Amino acid sequence: MNLVRQVRNTAKRYMDAECEHIPNLGVTSFEGFTLNFIAFSDKTKITARDVMGAANVSKATISQTLKGLEEKRLIKMTVAKSDRRQKLLSLTKEGKKTVKMMKDSFAYFSSRLLVGIDDNDLKIAEKVLVKIRNNALILHQQRE
């Protein structure tokens, strides 16, 4: 169907444009996701397991990502007092600055992306995209 192709092509063009317009902060997209998850999570104590569950990635992937963020001095991992097997994640001062730059860049990029689209069209598009996302999740779950 043409709509599915349009959604896929739009997502690709969006990602390309986002990468071109958001400054290179020295983090991968998944590292950016992880930093944002830590920064904006509702939980006060965030663990690797929390990020792993939110992103649906393997233990190896999250371990490697957290190690890289720690080496870049963007996060700090501390052993939880209640369970010494768990490491609590927090942003360093540099990590907070990186998240702010990402947030500011994304806000500017997003505002430019939606120029000329009225609120009613945005509401309709959001409803359709949510339904497409939900159907994609169902298909993904059926494969597991």
CA atoms in the 13 A half-sphere facing the CB of 143: 5
What type of residue is 118?
Answer: D
Q: What is the pLDDT of residue 60?
A: 93
Written as one string, the DSSP assignment of 61-121 is HHHHHHHHHHHTTSEEEEE-SS-TT-EEEEE-HHHHHHHHHHHHHHHHHHHHHTTT--HHH
* Domain locations in the chain as residue ranges: 23-113, 116-144
Global pTM value: 0.72
Q: What is the pLDDT of residue 21?
A: 67
Torsion of Cα atoms, 125 then 126 then 131 then 132, to 10°? 60
Cβ count near 35 (within 10 Å): 24
Residue indicated by tokens 């043409």: 2
Q: Which residues contact 6 (CB under 8 A, 6 or more apart)?
A: none
CA atoms in the 13 A half-sphere facing the CB of 19: 9
The pLDDT tens digits for 20-46 are 766 777 888 889 899 999 999 988 899
CA atoms in the 13 A half-sphere facing the CB of 142: 6
Q: Which stretches of the chain drop beneath a pLDDT of 50?
A: none
How is domain 23-113 classified at the CATH fold level?
Arc Repressor Mutant, subunit A (1.10.10)
